[in-house]
Structure 1
Amino acid sequence: MNYDQMKQFVLLTQDATALGWEFSIEEGKLQAFDENFSEDPITFQDVDQFLEWLENQFDKTIY
């Protein structure tokens, strides 16, 4: 991961956190939980799924 990718990753994670998502590790996999309980928890199976989810959270912050 280069520096620009790392910066984008951090900023996207901040967007998800601002929307009320918290992260944890369950059974060795990264999970996101909506602290507002409006969406079901999600368990990420791979990096691509996680990055796509982060981009979707960013899209929610601009609307």
Structure 2
Amino acid sequence: MDATACRVSSGGAHSGAAQPMTALIAFSAFEGLGAGGLAVGAFWLIGAPVPPAASGAAARA
């Protein structure tokens, strides 16, 4: 989680300081990869402690 948070922060800082449009696009993509990692990590952290039977996922499967 720390690496993805650093990726978002670093990408945002570099995007703000980018001069050419290609650098802005590249740093925004880098920031987006970090944000995607944060979203996946958050869902994993929320869902990991709950067993499927308790969450109702076993009934849907």
| TM-score normalised over the length of structure 1 | 0.33
Query: Hey, which of these two has a bigger chunk of helix by percent?
Result: 2
Bigger relative contact order, structure 1 or 2 (CA pairs below 8 A, ≥6 apart): 2
Larger radius of gyration: 2
| TM-score normalised over the length of structure 2 | 0.34
Query: Hey, which of these two has a bigger chunk of strand by percent?
Result: 1
